[in-house]
Structure formats: C-alpha cells, structure tokens
Amino acid sequence: MTATLHLQVTAGDGTVVDERCAHNTVMASGARLIADLFAGTGSPITHMGVGTSDAAPDDVNVAALSNAADGDAAPLDGATLGAIPPAAFVATIVPERRVVQVRVRGTLPADAAIGRIREAGLVSQSDSGSVLYNRVVFPPVDKRDDHELTLFWEIEFPFGDLQWLS
C-alpha cells in the first residue's frame, strides 16, 4: 500500500497561499482498523484531522494527532477534526498498475485549525471512540482565520499475487 497527501491552504479568493506534499505512515491502530473490517467489526474512515506535532513520522504507535503547544507555536484555534462524507471517497481500479486507488478530499473552513500545522491524518470515529488510521508529518504550514485548508489523500491498495511483498 502507498499513500500521499497533498495539502493546500487557500485565501478567500481561491488563491493558493501554501501547499505541501508528503508520504503517509499507517499507524498500528490503522492496520488493526482494516483487520477489524475483515471481521465485520471495524468502522470506516469518517474524519480528517490536523495537529501540531512533528514527532517522528515513522512512529507507528502514535494514537492521536496533537494539538499542544510545540516550541514557539501555540495550540491550534478552532476545530482540528472535520467530517468526511462518504461521497468524498472515490475508488478506482487501475488495472495496468494492479492497484485500487482511493481518492478523498476534505476541507477545514476558515474558522478551524488556525495556527501552525505540522501533521495530518485520517480518522475513524464511532460510538466506541476514535482511531487514527494514518499520519503524515510535513514542514509547518501557517493557517490564518481567512484561509481554508484542503487535504487531498491518494491511497493505493495493490492486488494480485502479493507474495513479493514478504
């Protein structure tokens, strides 16, 4: 599986103020989430979130995105988690690359996540709690109260004989 995040901060007039691209790390909790889907007990991805931590991007045991002060950056103001409607997910089979590609787009409005953002992730929220599926760390991006933040995720699941992965 591979995944990338493309992040865009836009001004009210639609001008792109800043952007980042980074690779994805699936959390241990995210792998468990997928395994639970096989058993019919898992929950789907329902939200995207952002945070302030730039801690090791390959630490698979991170359980939640941070919204704490970090160095000279204060905690983010406003909501740091936004719902993603099911219609925002588009899955396409790419036979020549032998992958199923899932694309999802979510936007946090101007009054959300104001401050210095360093991480993002996809989250499953249900009555039993919140599970962080993945996490991406990137160079800081500053979001003001007149900016929207849009996250474009592209995740590829391989199919066919996967023995080469082991």
Residue range 104-110: mean pLDDT, rounded: 95
Give the residue-averaged pLDDT of 100-128: 95
Residue 131 lies in a domain: yes
Over residues 144-156, the pLDDT tens digits come to: 999 999 999 999 9
| Most distant CA pair in the chain, distance | 49
Model confidence, pTM:
0.92
Q: What is the pLDDT of residue 156?
A: 93
Q: Which residues contact 53 (CB under 8 A, 6 or more apart)?
A: 65, 66, 68, 70, 118, 119, 137
Structural domain containing residue 104: 2-161
Name the least confident of 14-23, 26-35, 64-73. Answer: 64-73
Residue 166 in any domain: the answer is no
In a domain, 8, yes or no: yes
How high is the pLDDT of residue 2? 84
73 domain residue, yes or no: yes
| pLDDT for 57 | 84
Domain-located, residue 133:
yes
The count of structural domains within the chain is 1
